């Protein structure tokens, strides 16, 4: 029992049925690494299981080219054909080119030992395939996931052998051993060049990627449409183009929602009083009470307790815009003591004596450095091997779940203040782009069922994270070799983890599934799509990201069925508070520990449900057919039919 | 003898409170406050606290608000606790700072202001007497303590109740076995059917050993090569005469056998040899016999008990906020999950012997009545999908626990006589089953609600299943019982003292549908294959093939998967020691790797994954009463809700299809238009009309169908965490309290 392999055969059985274009577009996660598990990444494994279920109506022996023809309008079809024609060739994405190929490389698998094979480096991925044709083993790591390259010693492998470890952002560290020869270019150099293109004056792969998707993901988020959905503008709130040239605030989006009765001059003064000019703006408005979630950065109070009349009035107007309450609650994500020390650095927090009717709340969430350290510890716990006897206490010691708890608790407080207290809230941390984004987006997810749909969630991420200047480039370090940069921190991963925790507590409340969340995280690093590149809307506009790269949502929305939760039931206006207790928070092993084949579950529940949904559709179709038959029959014979009155094929009974 | 001033009143009819047949009110007190929340008394309920010879009951003063009760017990009200369910009765006097754990026949030197009842089903109830008469409050407390420590087995309420119920039901005429479909294994035909079903041709039913002295059941199954005389001769060498008993046969001919240890060390070798030879002879391929000594490789009953006490403590007694901090570490410290894993892991290894090595297995344990029960039933659950159906599971419990002589009376400690014998082995087994269910949600016909309700039934003393230590003890008590209650000789025991398996004793037909798993893919369930909607029927061939019928010869030959593994083995040999993080796979490791490399066939061989991350805390069982841990509108039940509705819709459609096609030969008469009659629908949640927008099922919580409301009220006593209080209750009783009490 010690060595249980993962669902290694899942690919074998699903293989003939799998959608070739589906797997190639998900290139960064294709990893058919058959020794760890033939399916490699959990994502692909999951997808194949789902795909196998969906395509169970197709008999297993359909040759791939026929399937390709069936799917002609869909992208990525070359994959299947290519692999069939040249089995040794590396599958490439449109726009991807092979940079170097190294033979006689050993992959040092932490689970199964050594595998010898060929290593190919493209401008997008590292692709290792075993020489043994009968037991194909493929390891596929997209370069974007690599945090640093490290040479390791391989003392027993002969003199001219070098060792290489790829320390990845996605919780794995594959290691290789290779022979150095005079004629060979050094693997590390080639790898470093394309892993860290920005440090070598090369473009990110997203700008080379040439895939065409039937759906344009850049159209998912239209701020005006989203604010209109919320019922804005109204008499108190206006959609402002004051920041259309990013002059007011270079890290904010061009379109902002601000109170109606405030002069532009006053706003400019408020901007000077807020860190990085991030003024209080509306994120979400409650459809009934008109209470709002407002986000901003810390006020520049400084050691001398500076005041800003315009800022004070600004918050007063925000409070007045909500007739239901005569209070305004400010949630400062930081620890109270940290907020105080920030005064010395010219920051600070709103003093209750200067802001009448304001209630200050500190949420005690540690900063980005603490979170980075916590996830680093987590990697030691889950990769490559785990300590079975102390698994639970080891997780406790990373404090990762404790921080998840703090975040969810903070967001639940925000949501509850709006929903039950009918009070508007202002959320900020120091700069208002890390913890603030986490809190506002989680609170919105709890309050507004729209954000729990596949589309709505994309809007939420585009809005609260991307457009409001969460510094993705700095936090992730896309294409940058400076791995020790203290700006890096897994804040977005933490947010997705919180979402996952909510989906675990409310398995029927979210339209998207776990695969979707994992896919989003994989492409946070991959640099395949333009979605998460750069730090702000201004930078993205300057780099013409929308015209020169593909959106992640194009990929997702071209095959939404794969990312849909079959349990989903759309209950409108259903406010959900997750239970913020350690008892219900779990480590997301299918993400963090997915590289360990022994950690995977064997049966996804979705499989059964997809089958049942299919069964229902099938039965419904047959009942309809028979109903038609019966009614035509009874018409001709004019006898009374036992058929119920329904002809629409809807269920023929009422609930009990 | 215990004396009470209140005369015993026999209740025949009581309008606002349901009394069972033969139930007697012992004592009662009015104006009692039942605490709902630890923080405030606002939601507290006022009423009358009653102690009967069956239960502790709380009758609300005001008519209770119409509350949607999800699972209403037919014999117990919302606020009732059977006396057998009480773990500890604690009385407190706040003003004088005193507390005392009450046992049987004890004195109480103070008037209690509060009564706290710790229950075996993990509930904690708190009653306050601030408005009640102090004397009557004290009397009720003493009565509860006294009656929850019955002096003798026959004083358990079941004996009174079933006697009356039998005569009442006689008026209407009873059906044989009460319509029970679960085999009880008290007659040779039940065993014969199992032998036939599993093609165990080398085994026979034997009744020669039964002499009313040992714990064996009347009928046992033994190798055909052993004559009754041999068996009698050998049996004396085994502890309690428990010689090897057949449990189950693998389609490949391997047998699962259980036995006690051989008491005479001199004879041990010889006897073992003979027994092994006989078992080998019963194997069609004369395969080897493999013996597994469970005492050596698994935690003992005390380990299990102490870790259960700890995990229960962490889940329900420790203050919620305090245990939040290092929750996972605390769970780890309890070692409960570690024990669960150990049993599952060992069972999986036995499965490897039977299925992978084609060898018969003997499970050996000192007495063959504890660990053997857990392991033998888990092995069969993994190998034989039949036992994953509801009836099959019940027959498994009957076969491997009840008839095999698991000492339910001692392990449950119903008489509270010997705490050292108490151990939640059956609970551990249910947790193991839940782990499998959690990993393979479509493999079991029943739900976790069923498992929970089954565990609760252990503490209701009305069913013959959990009351006795052995079939012999059961037989003797029931014969006496029949005599006393004037039940005619020859009447079926399962009729006059039914087992728990007749669920209509406890729940309505509608509530019983909560036991049905909508995802079940077993016998009769519809499934989709190659785009065709099919109904899965298990033919004999299907059964054996589903149990990995790949002959071992083929597997040892060069089959695809095997070849790659050997190849990999050769690759491994090139490794230098410091570069080889893995050792060469053992055959069993290969077996499991091979098994897990395929998608699980939930109708076939099932082995749970056993990394620590795969084994989870059974939240419904451990946390259902904890209000702080209850997720409103959430929990796995919300997915169950959707599935249940979906399956209901499918069944209606299927019924309509049958209707259109006309009755097929041999089928039931034409179903009514619009689907099967409501009372025949299997799903708890019915499909809703499609045109209606879905309405959120606000009543669902992660505790569903149980409600934490008023079932768990912790209390801190004068700054002492309640945890310390209960933890050290016994210690404290001997020191602090006694000092207090002697004033």
Convert the pLDDT of each residue in A220-257 to its tens digit: 999 999 999 999 999 999 999 999 999 999 999 999 99
Cα(B110)–Cα(B127) distance, integer angstroms: 16
**Of the candidates B265, B204, B264, which has an alpha carbon nearest to the alpha carbon of residue B231?**
B204
Convert the pLDDT of each residue in A285-337 to its tens digit: 999 999 999 999 999 999 999 999 999 999 999 999 998 999 999 999 999 99
CB-based contact, B678 to chain A, within 8 Å: yes
Quick check: A7 and B596 CB within 8 A? yes
Confidence (pLDDT) at A493: 98
Q: What is the dihedral of CA B304, B309, B311, B314, to 10 degrees?
A: -170
CA distances to B257, B548, B629 from B254, in Å: 10, 13, 46
Chain B hits for A569, Cβ within 8 Å: 642, 694
pLDDT above 90 (res B141): yes
Quick one: pLDDT band at residue A21, thresholds 50, 70, 90? very low
**Of the candidates A405, A472, A546, A483, which has an alpha carbon nearest to the alpha carbon of residue A173?**
A483
pLDDT above 80 (res A435): yes
pLDDT above 50 (res A649): no
Convert the pLDDT of each residue in A172-190 to its tens digit: 999 999 887 766 667 888 8
Quick one: pLDDT band at residue B42, thresholds 50, 70, 90? confident
Quick one: pLDDT band at residue B17, thresholds 50, 70, 90? low
8 A C-beta contact, residue B703 and residue B123: no
User: What is the pLDDT averaged over residues A154-181?
Assistant: 86
User: What is the pLDDT averaged over residues A541-558?
Assistant: 96
Q: Please, is A337 exposed, middle or buried when counting C-beta atoms within 10 Å of its C-beta (0-12, 13-18, 19+)?
A: exposed
Judged by DSSP in three states, B72 sits in coil
Cα(B500)–Cα(B507) distance, integer angstroms: 11
With both helix axes pointing from N to C terminus, report the angle between A400-419 and A435-447 in degrees, rounded to the nearest 10: 50
Quick one: pLDDT band at residue B698, thresholds 50, 70, 90? confident
Quick one: pLDDT band at residue B567, thresholds 50, 70, 90? very low
| Arithmetic mean of pLDDT over chain B | 82
Confidence (pLDDT) at B218: 93
The angle formed by the CA atoms of residues B189, B192 and B197, to the nearest 5 degrees, is 125
Q: Name beta bridge partners: B125.
A: B117
Considering the entire predicted model, what is its pTM? 0.87
8 A C-beta contact, residue B629 and residue B320: yes
Give a three-class secondary structure readout of B481-522.
HHHHCCCCCCCCHHHHCCCCCCHHHCCCHHHHHHHECCCCCC
Quick check: B572 and A113 CB within 8 A? yes
Quick check: B599 and A609 CB within 8 A? no
Chain A nearest C-alpha distance from B486 (Å):
45
Quick one: pLDDT band at residue A25, thresholds 50, 70, 90? very low
Chain B hits for A155, Cβ within 8 Å: 578
Give a three-class secondary structure readout of A113-172.
EEEEEEEEEECCEEEEEECCCCCCCEEEEEHHHEEEEEEECCHHHCCCEEEEEEEECCCC
* Least confident window among A133-142, A416-425, A597-606: A597-606
DSSP secondary structure code for residue B717 in this structure: B
User: What is the pLDDT averaged over residues B608-629?
Assistant: 94
Q: Which residue has the higher pLDDT, A631 or B442?
A: B442
Convert the pLDDT of each residue in B490-501 to its tens digit: 888 888 899 999
Q: Which among B575, B610, B650 is the nearest to A113, CB-wise?
A: B575
Q: Which residue has the higher pLDDT, B243 or B325?
A: B243
Quick one: pLDDT band at residue A637, thresholds 50, 70, 90? low
Token readout for B160 is 């009174």
Confidence (pLDDT) at B729: 37
Quick one: pLDDT band at residue B174, thresholds 50, 70, 90? low
Confidence (pLDDT) at A265: 95
Chain B hits for A506, Cβ within 8 Å: 631, 633-634, 638
* Catalytic choice (A26, A46, A168, A429): A429
Residue of B nearest to A45 (CA): B599
CB-based contact, B587 to chain A, within 8 Å: no
Quick one: pLDDT band at residue B562, thresholds 50, 70, 90? very low
Q: Which residue has the higher pLDDT, A39 or B197?
A: B197
pLDDT above 90 (res A142): yes
Quick check: B657 and A390 CB within 8 A? no
- In terms of average pLDDT, the best of B316-330, B374-388, B641-655, B718-732 is B374-388
CB-based contact, B265 to chain A, within 8 Å: no
8 A C-beta contact, residue B346 and residue B375: yes
Quick check: A113 and B657 CB within 8 A? no
pLDDT above 80 (res A639): no
Quick check: B331 and A654 CB within 8 A? no
Interface A-B: count of C-beta contacts within 8 A: 291
Token readout for B586 is 């053992």
- Chain B 137-166, CB below 8 Å of chain A: which residues? none
Q: Which among A57, A116, A505 is the nearest to B634, CB-wise?
A: A505
Chain A hits for B526, Cβ within 8 Å: 615
**Of the candidates A626, A620, A619, which has an alpha carbon nearest to the alpha carbon of residue A641?**
A626
Chain A nearest C-alpha distance from B121 (Å):
19
CB-based contact, B704 to chain A, within 8 Å: no
Q: Which among A3, A506, A576 is the nearest to B589, CB-wise?
A: A3
Q: Which residue has the higher pLDDT, B483 or B736?
A: B483
Judged by DSSP in three states, A94 sits in coil
Taken in order B466, B467, B473, B474, the sign of the CA dihedral is: negative
User: What is the pLDDT averaged over residues B167-191?
Assistant: 79
CB-based contact, B343 to chain A, within 8 Å: no
Residue count of chain A: 656
Q: Which residue has the higher pLDDT, A562 or A63?
A: A562
Chain B nearest C-alpha distance from A74 (Å):
23
Chain B hits for A570, Cβ within 8 Å: 694
pLDDT above 70 (res B6): no
User: What is the pLDDT averaged over residues B330-358?
Assistant: 96
**Of the candidates A553, A567, A651, which has an alpha carbon nearest to the alpha carbon of residue A607?**
A567
pLDDT above 50 (res A44): no
pLDDT above 70 (res A650): no
Quick check: B593 and A155 CB within 8 A? no
Quick check: A620 and B653 CB within 8 A? yes
Chain B hits for A650, Cβ within 8 Å: 689-691
Cα(A39)–Cα(A22) distance, integer angstroms: 14
Q: Which residue has the higher pLDDT, B289 or B527?
A: B289
CB-based contact, B489 to chain A, within 8 Å: no
Q: What percent of chain A has pLDDT over 90?
A: 66
Chain A hits for B567, Cβ within 8 Å: 132, 134-135
Q: Which among B574, B609, B630 is the nearest to A601, CB-wise?
A: B609
pLDDT above 80 (res B284): yes
Cα(B628)–Cα(A580) distance, integer angstroms: 9
Q: Which among A600, A601, A612 is the nearest to B646, CB-wise?
A: A612
Chain A hits for B326, Cβ within 8 Å: 393, 396
- Checking phi first, is residue B674 left (phi over 0); if not, alpha (psi -120 to 50) or beta? left
Chain B hits for A618, Cβ within 8 Å: 528, 533
8 A C-beta contact, residue A271 and residue A296: no
Q: Which among A4, A56, A653 is the nearest to B652, CB-wise?
A: A653
CB-based contact, B529 to chain A, within 8 Å: yes
Chain A nearest C-alpha distance from B530 (Å):
4
8 A C-beta contact, residue A411 and residue A438: yes
Quick one: pLDDT band at residue A53, thresholds 50, 70, 90? very low
CB-based contact, B559 to chain A, within 8 Å: no
Q: Which among B440, B594, B674 is the nearest to A652, CB-wise?
A: B674
Chain B hits for A48, Cβ within 8 Å: none
Phi then psi for residue A600, to 5 deg, are -85, 150
CB-based contact, B390 to chain A, within 8 Å: no
CA distances to B548, B601, B709 from B598, in Å: 12, 8, 44
Chain A nearest C-alpha distance from B461 (Å):
32
Confidence (pLDDT) at A317: 95
Half-sphere exposure of B34 (CA within 13 A, CB side): 24
| Arithmetic mean of pLDDT over chain A | 83
8 A C-beta contact, residue A41 and residue A594: yes
DSSP A166-233: EEETTS---EEEEE--SSSPPHHHHHHHHHSGGGGT---GGGT-----SS-GGGS--HHHHHHHTT-S
Confidence (pLDDT) at B654: 83
Residue count of chain B: 743
Residue of B nearest to A7 (CA): B597
User: What is the pLDDT averaged over residues A546-575?
Assistant: 91
8 A C-beta contact, residue B312 and residue B622: yes
Q: Which among A113, A155, A570 is the nearest to B582, CB-wise?
A: A113
Active site residue A429: yes
In the sheet that holds B245-249, the strands lie side by side as B245-249, B255-259, B360-364, B289-293
Chain A hits for B613, Cβ within 8 Å: 386, 391, 587, 589, 593, 599
Chain A hits for B658, Cβ within 8 Å: none
Quick check: A157 and B579 CB within 8 A? yes
- Checking phi first, is residue A616 left (phi over 0); if not, alpha (psi -120 to 50) or beta? alpha
Confidence (pLDDT) at B168: 82
* Least confident window among A63-72, A562-571, A639-648, B272-281: A63-72
pLDDT above 80 (res B738): no
pLDDT above 50 (res B647): yes
Q: Which among B564, B641, B689 is the nearest to A651, CB-wise?
A: B689
Token readout for A497 is 């983890």
Token readout for A396 is 């406790």
Chain B nearest C-alpha distance from A304 (Å):
38
Confidence (pLDDT) at A194: 95
CB-based contact, B351 to chain A, within 8 Å: no
DSSP secondary structure code for residue B689 in this structure: P
Confidence (pLDDT) at A68: 31
Q: Which residue has the higher pLDDT, A245 or B323?
A: A245
Confidence (pLDDT) at A13: 33
Confidence (pLDDT) at A636: 61
Confidence (pLDDT) at B626: 94
Confidence (pLDDT) at B597: 77
Buried b (16+ CB within 10 A) or exposed e, A565-576: bbbbbebeebbb
pLDDT above 70 (res A37): no
Q: What percent of chain B has pLDDT over 90?
A: 57
Token readout for A304 is 């001398």
8 A C-beta contact, residue B608 and residue B672: no
Quick check: A155 and B564 CB within 8 A? no
Quick check: B612 and A395 CB within 8 A? no
User: What is the pLDDT averaged over residues A132-141?
Assistant: 81
ipTM above 0.95, yes or no: no
Quick check: A615 and B609 CB within 8 A? no
Token readout for A45 is 């494994």
């Amino acid at each position: 029992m010690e060595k249980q392999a993962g669902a290694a055969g899942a690919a074998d059985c699903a293989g003939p049925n799998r959608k070739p274009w589906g797997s190639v577009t998900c290139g960064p996660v294709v990893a058919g690494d058959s020794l760890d598990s033939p399916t490699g990444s959990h994502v692909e494994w999951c997808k194949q299981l789902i795909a196998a279920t969906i395509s169970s109506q197709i008999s297993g022996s359909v040759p791939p080219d026929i399937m390709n023809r069936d799917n002609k309008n869909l992208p990525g079809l070359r994959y299947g054909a290519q692999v069939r024609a040249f089995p040794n060739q590396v599958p490439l994405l449109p726009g991807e080119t092979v940079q170097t190929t190294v033979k006689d490389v050993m992959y040092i698998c932490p689970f199964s030992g050594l595998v010898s094979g060929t290593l190919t480096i493209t401008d997008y991925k590292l692709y290792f395939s075993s020489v043994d044709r009968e037991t194909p083993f493929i390891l596929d790591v997209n370069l974007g996931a690599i945090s640093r390259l490290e040479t390791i010693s391989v003392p027993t492998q002969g003199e001219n052998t070098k060792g290489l470890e790829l320390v990845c952002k996605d919780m794995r560290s594959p290691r290789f051993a290779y022979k150095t020869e005079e004629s060979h270019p050094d693997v590390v150099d080639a790898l470093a060049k394309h892993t860290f293109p920005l440090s070598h004056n090369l473009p990110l792969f997203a700008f080379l990627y040439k895939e065409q998707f039937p759906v344009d993901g850049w159209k998912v988020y239209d701020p005006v449409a989203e604010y209109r959905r919320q019922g804005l503008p109204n008499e108190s709130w206006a959609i402002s183009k004051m920041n259309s040239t990013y002059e007011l605030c270079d890290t904010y989006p061009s379109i902002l929602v601000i109170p109606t009765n405030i002069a532009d001059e006053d706003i400019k003064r408020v901007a000077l009083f807020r860190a990085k000019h991030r003024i209080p703006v509306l994120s979400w408005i409650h459809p009934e009470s008109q209470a709002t979630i407002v986000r901003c950065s810390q006020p520049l109070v400084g050691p001398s307790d500076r005041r800003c009349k315009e800022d004070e009035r600004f918050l007063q107007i925000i409070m007045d815009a909500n007739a239901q309450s005569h209070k305004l609650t400010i949630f400062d994500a930081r620890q109270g003591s940290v907020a105080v020390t920030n005064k010395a650095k010219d920051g600070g927090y709103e003093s209750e004596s200067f802001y009448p009717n304001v209630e200050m709340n500190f949420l005690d969430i540690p900063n980005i450095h603490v979170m980075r350290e916590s996830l680093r510890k987590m990697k030691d716990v889950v990769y490559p091997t785990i300590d079975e006897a102390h698994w639970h206490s080891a997780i406790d010691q990373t404090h990762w779940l404790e921080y998840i708890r703090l975040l969810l608790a903070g967001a639940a407080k925000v949501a509850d203040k709006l929903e039950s207290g009918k009070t508007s809230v202002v959320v900020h941390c120091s700069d208002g782009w890390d913890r603030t984004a986490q809190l506002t987006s989680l609170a919105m997810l709890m309050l507004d069922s729209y954000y729990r749909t596949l589309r709505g969630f994309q809007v939420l991420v585009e809005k609260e994270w991307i457009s409001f200047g969460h510094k993705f480039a700095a936090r992730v370090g896309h294409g940058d070799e400076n791995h020790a940069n203290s700006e890096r921190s897994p804040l977005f991963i933490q947010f997705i983890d919180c979402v996952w925790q909510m989906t675990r507590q409310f398995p029927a409340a979210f339209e998207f599934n776990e695969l979707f969340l994992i896919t989003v995280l994989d492409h946070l690093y991959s640099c395949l799509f333009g979605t998460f590149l750069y730090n702000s809307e201004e930078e993205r506009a300057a780099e013409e990201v929308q015209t020169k790269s593909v959106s992640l949502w194009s990929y997702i929305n071209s095959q939404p069925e794969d990312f849909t939760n079959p349990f989903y039931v759309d209950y409108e206006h259903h406010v959900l508070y997750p239970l913020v207790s350690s008892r219900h928070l779990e480590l997301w092993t299918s993400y963090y520990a997915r590289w360990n084949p022994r950690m995977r579950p064997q049966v996804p529940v979705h499989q059964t449900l997809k089958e049942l949904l299919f069964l229902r559709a099938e039965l419904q179709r047959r009942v309809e057919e028979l109903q038609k038959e019966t009614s035509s029959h009874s018409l001709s014979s004019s006898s009374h039919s036992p058929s119920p009155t329904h002809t629409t094929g809807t269920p023929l009974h009422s609930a009990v | 003898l215990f004396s009470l001033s209140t005369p015993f009143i026999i209740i025949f009819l009581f309008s606002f409170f349901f009394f069972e047949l033969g139930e007697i009110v012992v004592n009662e007190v009015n104006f009692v406050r039942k605490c709902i929340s630890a923080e405030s008394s606002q939601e507290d309920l006022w009423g009358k606290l009653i102690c009967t010879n069956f239960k502790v009951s709380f009758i609300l003063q005001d008519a209770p608000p119409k509350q949607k009760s999800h699972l209403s017990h037919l014999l117990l009200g919302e606020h009732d606790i059977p006396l057998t369910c009480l773990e500890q009765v604690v009385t407190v006097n706040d003003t004088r700072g005193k507390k005392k754990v009450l046992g049987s026949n004890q004195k109480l030197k103070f008037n209690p202001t509060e009564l706290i009842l710790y229950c075996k089903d993990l509930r904690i109830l708190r009653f306050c007497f601030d408005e009640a008469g102090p004397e009557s409050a004290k009397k009720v407390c003493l009565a509860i303590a006294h009656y929850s420590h019955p002096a003798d087995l026959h004083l358990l309420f079941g004996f009174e109740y079933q006697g009356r119920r039998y005569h009442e039901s006689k008026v209407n005429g009873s059906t044989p076995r009460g319509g029970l479909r679960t085999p009880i294994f008290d007659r040779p035909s039940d065993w014969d059917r199992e032998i036939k079903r599993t093609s165990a041709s080398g085994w026979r039913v034997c009744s020669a050993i039964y002499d009313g002295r040992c714990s064996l059941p009347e009928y046992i199954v033994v190798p055909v090569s052993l004559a009754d005389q041999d068996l009698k001769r050998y049996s004396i060498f085994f502890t309690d005469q428990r010689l090897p008993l057949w449990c189950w046969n693998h389609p490949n001919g391997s047998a699962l056998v259980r036995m006690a240890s051989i008491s005479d060390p001199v004879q041990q070798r010889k006897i073992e040899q003979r027994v092994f030879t006989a078992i080998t002879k019963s194997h069609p391929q004369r395969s080897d016999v493999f013996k597994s000594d469970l005492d050596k490789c698994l935690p003992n009953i005390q380990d299990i008990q102490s870790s259960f006490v700890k995990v229960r403590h962490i889940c329900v007694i420790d203050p919620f906020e305090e245990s939040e901090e290092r929750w996972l570490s605390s769970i780890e410290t309890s070692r409960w999950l570690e024990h669960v894993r150990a049993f599952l892991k060992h069972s999986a290894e036995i499965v490897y012997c039977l299925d992978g090595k084609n060898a018969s297995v003997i499970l050996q344990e000192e007495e063959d009545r504890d660990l053997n029960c857990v392991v033998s039933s888990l092995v069969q659950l993994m190998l034989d999908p039949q036992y994953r159906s509801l009836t099959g599971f019940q027959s498994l419990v009957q076969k491997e626990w009840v008839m095999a002589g698991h000492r339910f009376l001692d392990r449950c400690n119903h008489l509270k006589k010997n705490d050292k014998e108490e151990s939640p082995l059956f609970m551990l087994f249910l947790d193991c089953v839940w782990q499998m269910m959690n990993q393979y949600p479509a493999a079991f016909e029943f739900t976790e609600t069923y498992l929970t309700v089954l565990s609760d039934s252990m503490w209701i003393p009305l069913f013959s299943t959990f009351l006795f230590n052995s079939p012999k003890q059961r037989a003797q008590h029931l014969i006496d019982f029949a005599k006393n209650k004037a039940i005619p000789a020859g009447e079926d025991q399962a009729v006059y003292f039914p087992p728990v398996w007749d669920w209509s004793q406890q729940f309505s037909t509608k509530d019983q549908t909560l036991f049905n798993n909508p995802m079940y893919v077993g016998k009769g369930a519809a499934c989709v294959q190659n785009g065709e909607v099919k109904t899965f029927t298990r033919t004999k061939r299907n059964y054996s093939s589903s149990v990995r019928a790949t002959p071992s010869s083929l597997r040892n030959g060069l089959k695809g998967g095997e070849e790659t593994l050997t190849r990999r083995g050769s690759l491994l040999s090139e490794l230098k020691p410091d570069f080889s993080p893995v050792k060469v796979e053992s055959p069993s490791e290969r077996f499991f790797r091979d098994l897990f490399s395929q998608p699980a066939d939930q109708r076939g061989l099932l082995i749970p994954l056993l990394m620590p991350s795969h084994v989870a805390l059974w939240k419904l069982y451990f946390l259902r009463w904890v209000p702080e841990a209850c997720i409103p509108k959430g929990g796995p039940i919300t997915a169950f809700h959707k599935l249940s509705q979906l399956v209901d819709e499918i069944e209606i459609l299927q019924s309509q299809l049958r209707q259109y096609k006309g009755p097929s030969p041999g089928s039931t008469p034409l179903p009514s238009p619009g689907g099967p009659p409501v009372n025949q629908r299997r799903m708890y949640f019915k499909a809703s009309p499609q045109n209606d927008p879905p309405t959120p099922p606000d009543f669902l919580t992660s505790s569903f169908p149980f409600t934490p409301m008023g079932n768990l009220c912790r209390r801190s006593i004068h700054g002492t965490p309640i945890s310390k209080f209960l933890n050290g209750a016994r210690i404290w009783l001997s020191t602090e309290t006694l000092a207090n009490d002697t004033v």
